[in-house]
Chain A
Amino acid sequence: MSAAAPVLEGRNLTKHFWVKRGRGPFARRTAVNAVDNVSVRLEGGSVTALVGESGAGKTTVGRLLAKIIKPDAGSILVDGKPAPSGRPRSYAATVQMVFQDPFASLNPVHRIRHHLARPLQIHHLAAGDVNTVVAGLLGRVALKPPAQFAAKFPHELSGGQRQRVAIARALAVRPRVLIADEPVSMLDVSIRLGILNLLADLRDEDRLAILYVTHDIASARYLADTIAVMYAGQLVEVAPSVELTDHPAHPYTQLLLSAAPDPDRAQPPVLAGSGAPPSLLAPPSGCRFHPRCPHAMDVCKRKAPPNITVAPDHIAACWLHVDPSERQASENGAIATGPLEKAETKR
């Protein structure tokens, strides 16, 4: 990663959701560790993919970075400087979000023009004619002729067209960061690539920093420059996308890859692991993946693994990559300084 400060950085983000267990006067509030000590760096002109199963906390990370929800711990930095507290308009002008469901993210009672014009009005960006800017935005996301689309209601558009409108709305304030939460998972297969290619264009031409949240590792490989894999609220592996899919270092990444559909496979796949993600009400001790891990060792049950650099820019949080002689040493706090280790001591 470059030496310059990233456009947007989340440092040691932690988020607990409180749930009630039991009923009436016997109810207890229990914390769900949705996101635990996750650090993400988003650089201009690059796409970072956040990959994981449902419940891994990837959407929560996106919403934390968009400041829709407040973190319980950790900080958000813009250009290396702490972001202002709350959600001021200046932050909205920097960080924008595209939601998963294009059928829910546009207000059914308003025309497309309203959806695109409002952000311009809020941020006082339409110095001249609002309609011209709106037409320009619609052209940017390949909805032509723009005038015709601007006059339509959301229900008159297909899913793919709606998602393009949602992207245009996010672009209206000329943000530098775009958080795309599963932008294609609700769309038909044949139009997904169109949206992914649009995001790639925005990265290359507008130098946007994009966080692409997805469960589909193949599309992450296609679009992203860097892939971060999340498991049970924690980051387990971060690497350049081709490096990560070709040489996965963390057993969980290996499991995900072995399960993904891949018609090119010559051999029937062998699942590298089994079971389901743990309950985040009481996550497993040590490495959260150890109950499912085919390589689990004794140390995995006791201590959270440190972040190990297994190759340039390739970090995995796994004891397998710690030299056996140092596994003991690290238990004494010799090398492990990663955020995961901090999480362990805090708990």
Chain B
Amino acid sequence: MTIDTTALAKIPPAGPAAGPVLQRGRILRLPRSPKVIAGLFIVAVFGLIALIGRWVVPYSPNATDSQNWVQHVLVPGTGGDSGFPASYYPLPYGPSAAHWLGTTVFAQDVWSQLLASTQATMFVGLLAAAIATALSIIFGVSAGYIGGATDEGLSLIANVFLAIPGLPLLIVLADYVPSAGSSIFLVAAIIAVTTWAYSARTLRAQTLSLRNRDFVEAARVSGEGRTRIILAEILPNLVPIVAASFLFTTLAAIYAYVAISFLGLGGSPTGSPAGLWNWGEMLREGFANNAVRGGWWWWWAPPGICVALLGTGLALLNFGIDEFINPRLRTAGLTARAAKKAGIKLGTAVGVTPVASISPIAVKPATSAADAVLEIHGLSVDYGYGAEAVHAVMNCDLVLRRGRVLGLAGESGSGKTTLALAAMRLLRQPAVITSGQVLFHSRPFTGEGPKGTIDLLAAGLHQLREVRWSEIAVVLQSSLNALNPVITVGAQFDDLLRVHRPKLSALDRWARSGELLEMVGMNADRLRSYPHELSGGMRQRAMIAMALALEPQVMILDEPTTALDVVTQREILEELMGLRDRLGFAALFITHDLSLLVELADEIAVMYAGRLMERAPAASLFHAPRLPYTHGLLNCFPPMHGKRVPMEGIPGSPPDLRDLPSGCAFHPRCRWAMDRCTREVPQLAPVDGSGREVACWLHRDGAQVPAELARPEPAQRPALMRVSEQ
């Protein structure tokens, strides 16, 4: 129901483009992040060196020229008049034009060795990763998909491999397998055997979650065989994870190869049988021959830096894949940059919707009604900034009166939740309020707390904290999952009261908590329960009780009962409306279920595509809708009585906020759409002089109003669920 930032981020930002274009867009978007570009660049450079390095070396990596490539330093106490024959020890040369990275103590060219080493190092890394990934797919996916005893057996094998420490096993294997050192295939296989289990476990978990997805079940119902389901339905969905684990394993394999070579198990390139040059071998020779003590950094530093650089490159690529899999990671960084680009200054306060400072807040002078408690004027909310912004709420006015229930109806994506949460400034970036005014006229029931009119959009964090929960409480559809699962309900009430009602003693707090639970129709014993011991309905009741704990003047109820069964929904609504009569709070009730709203609200506002389209007393709206959309929406609920007649609903589907129709956003679905509707956006304005408002050209300038939209106003009656009229 809610438009949250992740939902927006998941949808690729493109218009009505055809399939292939969009899909290509998805893939092309990957390299746009600077991290990924850097990673790709590093890996590409190393890849190129690996491919051609062996053939562009200036010298053979084994070549020695002991006359010219090393200095000969006289060993002290030899030669001359010491009486001993002169003895020299070799000293490598530092970098020079002839030897870019200097020479080794064995009179070899380091640059040549480095170039030649890259190939074997990367080859072993990739080969080991390929073997390990193949193993992990075979083990992980079959274990996850087949389940049962197969799963237990395969998982046991994987767990055994996980439990064995990798490096010692490697050393033992490399040491005992004859000629292991000289065969890079054998080395790669040994490394693969020690690294596959991690990825197998990840893939198994992913397959387990995919196995019970509806699309796999649907394939099964259509008669698809097991192998095809694994290969064609499950594996393609695992590609990003397989890619990520492949890169990770490559990295691990390179480290492992460098490690065993460093330990001297990789075979010496100059020995017999000859091993291959690799970075680990270079490091080993350097360390074994006093390169560090001698300060010959050009010998040992380059291979070390190469290992670190390639590792960084692979890690950056992996990070890019992570962002691709989980778009939530991507938005975090983009937000601030996009805002800066669009010239919007954002506050740093957490938990407060930023108010854009680019346009001065253009508001008509607020003419406050006497009994208004919450007034929203001209509120507009965007997701994103500048040209890419999605206008989720546009220029909305709402007035909530004391003790009244205002219903806000609309389909998903119509902006109803955004409107309410933005007014409380509860939305996080990239949501931004671009204009408007939200006035809260506080007259606290408790006598404490803020009094007078507060402009919530101008308020600071401290002021907002004073108002939120204690004066304006919010209950969301998902609230029932907001209870902390590890402490009892009573302790959570206690926490709340201790902070906000410091004067109460522990006993009083307990008593008050029990009283609150009983208020919403629960037994006070339930204070000792943990949330998991309560049903969904009970938890939602507990949340409502908690929202009521500080005697708020306003309750914002966002689909509070949508996740619940009808009977529970009815019980909770009856409790709520009874409480409203007793306690006198005002409620903003947000739901997609217009038929429910008609029963409990005093006044109903209908939203469509981010705009308020009609506002009227509940009974008038139900019996005599003026807006074509409202009329259509009312015809979407089959009646519970009378003869069954075919109903049509509303043709088409709700518009995409990123690509709104011109003029009135409803015109493509409207049976009475006129030429004007496609061009001009209708504004909310009074009709009939009856205190109700509608945004529709059919009611302007003498247009022909269809009979369906001109039914007589019904006699006013209180909302059905209102127990007593105040």
Residues of A within 8 A of B (CB): 53-54, 66, 68, 87, 89, 92-93, 96-97, 99-101, 104-111, 118-119, 122-123, 148, 151-153, 155-156, 158-161, 166, 169-170, 172-173, 188-194, 197, 200, 215, 217-219, 221-222, 241-242, 245-246, 255-265, 267-269, 271, 273-274, 276-277
Cβ distance B8 to chain A, nearest Cβ, rounded Å: 13
Interface string of B536-568 (1 = CB under 8 A from A): 011000000000000000000000000001111
Decide: A107 and B215 in contact? CB cutoff 8 A.
yes
Q: Does B23 contact A (CB under 8 A)?
A: yes
Decide: A153 and B23 in contact? CB cutoff 8 A.
yes
| Residues of chain B lying within 8 A (CB to CB) of residue A156 | 19, 22
Q: Does B508 contact A (CB under 8 A)?
A: no
Decide: B565 and A189 in contact? CB cutoff 8 A.
no
Decide: B221 and A97 in contact? CB cutoff 8 A.
yes
Interface centre among A66, A215, A262 (most CB of B within 10 A): A262
Q: How far is the CA of A107 from the CA of B669 in the complex (A)?
A: 29
| Residues of chain B lying within 8 A (CB to CB) of residue A260 | 566, 640
| Residues of chain A lying within 8 A (CB to CB) of residue B653 | 158-161, 188, 190-191
Q: Given A111-B19, A245-B640, A190 and B654 touching (CB < 8 A)?
A: yes
Cβ distance B352 to chain A, nearest Cβ, rounded Å: 31
Q: List 19 A-B contacts (CB under 8 A).
A: A53-B565, A96-B221, A104-B213, A119-B223, A122-B223, A155-B11, A155-B12, A158-B653, A189-B593, A190-B636, A259-B566, A261-B596, A261-B637, A264-B640, A268-B721, A268-B723, A271-B571, A274-B571, A276-B568
Decide: B649 and A194 in contact? CB cutoff 8 A.
yes
Q: How far is the CA of A93 from the CA of B598 in the complex (A)?
A: 45
Contact of A68 among B217, B236, B565 (CB under 8 A): B217
Decide: A259 and B640 in contact? CB cutoff 8 A.
no
Decide: B595 and A261 in contact? CB cutoff 8 A.
yes
Q: How far is the CA of A54 from the CA of B236 in the complex (A)?
A: 33
Q: Given A53-B567, A68-B221, A257 and B18 touching (CB < 8 A)?
A: no
Contact of A92 among B214, B222, B239, B646 (CB under 8 A): B222
| Residues of chain A lying within 8 A (CB to CB) of residue B239 | 109
Contact of A197 among B221, B237, B646 (CB under 8 A): B646
Cβ distance B372 to chain A, nearest Cβ, rounded Å: 27
| Residues of chain B lying within 8 A (CB to CB) of residue A193 | 635-636, 638, 647-649
Q: How far is the CA of A172 from the CA of B222 in the complex (A)?
A: 9
Q: Does B131 contact A (CB under 8 A)?
A: no
Q: Does B20 contact A (CB under 8 A)?
A: yes
Cβ distance B26 to chain A, nearest Cβ, rounded Å: 9
Interface string of B629-669 (1 = CB under 8 A from A): 00011011111110010111111011000000000000001
Residues of B within 8 A of A (CB): 11-12, 18-20, 22-23, 213-215, 217-224, 232-233, 236-237, 239, 411-412, 535, 537-538, 565-571, 574, 592-596, 598-599, 622, 632-633, 635-641, 644, 646-651, 653-654, 669, 720-721, 723
Decide: A108 and B570 in contact? CB cutoff 8 A.
no
Q: How far is the CA of A241 from the CA of B643 in the complex (A)?
A: 11
Decide: B632 and A105 in contact? CB cutoff 8 A.
no
Decide: B638 and A219 in contact? CB cutoff 8 A.
yes
Cβ distance A227 to chain B, nearest Cβ, rounded Å: 12
Decide: A109 and B650 in contact? CB cutoff 8 A.
no
Q: Give me the 6 closest cross-chain CB pairs, A-B, nearest first.
A: A193-B649, A222-B638, A92-B223, A105-B214, A263-B598, A259-B570
Q: How far is the CA of A268 from the CA of B573 in the complex (A)?
A: 12
| Residues of chain A lying within 8 A (CB to CB) of residue B598 | 263
Decide: A110 and B236 in contact? CB cutoff 8 A.
yes
Interface centre among B568, B594, B640, B654 (most CB of A within 10 A): B640
Q: How far is the CA of A321 from the CA of B377 in the complex (A)?
A: 59
Cβ distance B45 to chain A, nearest Cβ, rounded Å: 32
